A and B are shown apart, each in its own frame.
Chain A
Amino acid sequence: MSEAITRAHHEEWAGVVAALNRRFGDLDTAEESAAEAFATAVERWPVDGVPPNPGAWLTTTANRKAIDRIRRENKRFDKQKEAQALIGDDPPEPPGAVDDDRLRLIFTCCHPALAPETRVALTLRLVGGLSMPEIARAFLVQESAMGQRITRAKAKIKAARIPYRVPSAEDLPGRVSGVLAVLFLVFNEGYLATGPDTDPVRHDLTAEAIRLTRLVHGLLRDDGEVAGLLALMLLTEARRPARVSATGELVTLGEQDRGAWDATLIAEGHQLVRERLATGAAPGRYQILAAINAVHTSASDVRDTDWSQVVALYDQLVRLDPSPIVALNRAIAVAELDGPDVALAAVDRLEDALAGYHAYHATRADLLRRMSRVRESRSAYDRAIELAGNTAETATLTRRRDQLGQH
């Protein structure tokens, strides 16, 4: 039974919130009535059995809760919406209406007029259905602070009239990329958690990010970047079982036990990458990153990695996104193809931009180590350890540094 409720929560939450928001024009009412409907399901379903159409049952129940709520609070609301809400519980929906509603909700939560951290919190709450304590824990902030942030955001959406609609075709690519940035942020926080007291890899967050990206992919089938981000997440998540060693260290891609990788996720990720390649459309950032990860996950031994392909894909990415972090990752691949000295020259050019970034120093330390420049390598490790926020990563860097010979 609890499994049926969890599944309904995963599958129906966003749709229930979205339908109620459309009907009542108020995210607070939508969110709280949805939460009440799920609480009622937890009470009723074990007694009455799971209804044949859980989504419709939940929407109907939430709708009644919302009407009760409005009557109780004697809230004035739009007369037309009131009439609409009171006529029958389930006016017939045109096909695809539920999907459209969920998309509207996602675009509202990820609106560019909201602060980026607020977009993440709102998306997890209203689309993902995570509770306030869960979201606060995910981002290591006080529950009250997270609650305030969400409350303020809902008030702004209402007062400033952030529209509840799918953006026009002309604005869509820009707005979709805003949604994907939110999902990628959630995934990355899960894959390399930054807190000193959290697990190094937070499966709850990576799983939630994948679930929401699957949802968006289901709604925007033809969007290459959505498919690209989903593939990227799947191919990254596939390596999670090999990512942290028994002693709690982060294991680099080259040293991972590839037999522990999740073959099902890899197959699904590869399939998505192949589908995108087959369209012949110019790939965006996420599709290129997915393709790079497809090359890595195609090699059953690190020595079989097609590094020239990886570097070629990074070249393509640099043209789209000439950021220093992309240049750093390209240099790591260049080290495998052309040697650490060529890579180091490229990395050193990034010092001004990346001096405060732990991965810059970790990469330099590794390249210098391979070139037997021990003293310089040691000080680069020191700096990387100082800046790294992930416990497992710090452990790896510390061991590497301590294994350098005495010079």
Chain B
Amino acid sequence: MQYLVSVIADETYSATDEEMAATIAFNKGLQADGYWVFAGGLTEPSTATVVDNRGGEALFTDGPFLESKEHLAGFWVMEAPDLDVALELAAAGSKACNRKVEVRPFQ
């Protein structure tokens, strides 16, 4: 079972050196214990481009699709046997990157 663990950040966006170091250490643990699938950090929301090609001609719009105080700053995809394990990993991840995280199962 795979879970998407999204990192939610507010305006104070960039991670500190300490947060980076703790996150890298956490990632190594995920890899060593077999929970790691994929992970990545994202640049600021203002660097996003929205693309809409539902109408036959692709429209490109500058900026994030949602203006909000909180943004997706990065994510993990984790392999875990059930939600209890996923929540435990997410709690450790939240502590490491010092941000709130959201756990959502894949279909």
Beta-carbon contacts under 8 Å, B50-107 to A: 81-84, 86-87, 103-105, 107
* A319 CB → nearest B CB, Å: 27
- The 10 tightest CB contacts between A and B, nearest first, are A163-B82, A160-B105, A161-B82, A160-B83, A162-B83, A161-B1, A161-B83, A163-B84, A159-B105, A113-B83
Report Cα–Cα, A239/B44, bound state, in Å: 61
CB-based nearest B residue for A163 = B82
Q: What are the residues of chain A within 8 A of B104 when measuring CB–CB? A: 160
Q: Considering the complex, give the chain A residue whose CB is closest to the CB of B87.
A: A113
> Given the complex, which residues of B lie within 8 Å of A167, measured CB to CB?
84
A171: B residues at CB distance < 8 A: 84
User: How far is it, in angstroms, between the C-alpha of A162 and the C-alpha of B82 when the chains are bound?
Assistant: 6
Alpha-carbon gap, A113 to B104, bound state (A): 11
Taking CB atoms, residues of chain A closer than 8 Å to B103 are 160
Closest Cβ neighbor of B104 among chain A residues: A160
**CB of B49 to closest CB in A, whole Å:** 31
SS class, residues of chain B in contact with chain A: mixed
> In the assembled complex, how far is the CB of residue B8 from the closest CB belonging to chain A, in whole angstroms?
17
Report the tally of A-B residue pairs with Cβ distances under 8 A. 25
B82 partner residues in chain A, CB cutoff 8 A: 161-163
Which residue from chain A places its CB closest to the CB of B107 in the assembled complex?
A159
Known: A163-B84, A167-B84. 7 other contacts (CB 8 A): A112-B87, A113-B83, A161-B82, A161-B83, A162-B82, A163-B82, A171-B84
- Chain A nearest Cβ from B90, distance in angstroms: 11
> Which residues of chain A are within 8 angstroms of B81 by Cβ–Cβ distance?
161, 163
Q: What 1/0 mask marks residues of chain A from 108 to 147 whose CB sits below 8 Å from any chain B CB? A: 0001110000000000000000000000000000000000
Shortest CB distance B80–A (Å): 8
Q: For window 145-191 of chain A, which residues contact chain B by CB distance below 8 Å?
A: 159-163, 167, 171
- A167 and B87 alpha carbons, distance in the complex (Å): 13
Q: Can you list 25 contacts pairing A with B, beta carbon distance less than 8 Å?
A: A111-B83, A112-B87, A113-B83, A113-B87, A159-B105, A159-B107, A160-B83, A160-B86, A160-B103, A160-B104, A160-B105, A161-B1, A161-B81, A161-B82, A161-B83, A161-B105, A162-B82, A162-B83, A162-B84, A163-B81, A163-B82, A163-B83, A163-B84, A167-B84, A171-B84
Most-contacted residue by chain B among A160, A163, A167 (CB, 10 A)? A160
User: B19 to nearest A CB, angstroms?
Assistant: 25
Docked CA distance A163–B87 (Å): 12
Question: What residues on B are CB-neighbors of A112 within 8 Å?
Answer: 87
Q: A residues 373-400 with Cβ under 8 Å of B? A: none
Q: In the complex the two chains form, what is the Cα distance from A139 to B64 in whole Å?
A: 41
Instruction: Give the Cβ gap from A111 to chain B, nearest Cβ, in Å.
Output: 8
> Could you tell me the distance between the alpha carbons of A270 and B86 in the complex, rounded to whole angstroms?
43
Residues of B within 8 A of A113 (CB): 83, 87
Residue of B nearest to A171 (CB): B84
The residue in chain A whose Cβ has the minimal distance to the Cβ of B105 is A160
* Distance in angstroms between the alpha carbons of A171 and B88 in the assembled complex: 11
Mark out the residues of chain B between 1 and 28 whose CB falls within 8 Å of any chain A CB in the assembled complex. 1
- Bound CA–CA A167/B84 (angstroms): 9
CB distance from B68 to the nearest CB of A (A): 22
Closest to A112 in B: B87
Bound-state CA distance A344–B15 (Å) is 49
Closest chain-A Cβ to B89's Cβ sits at a distance in Å of: 14
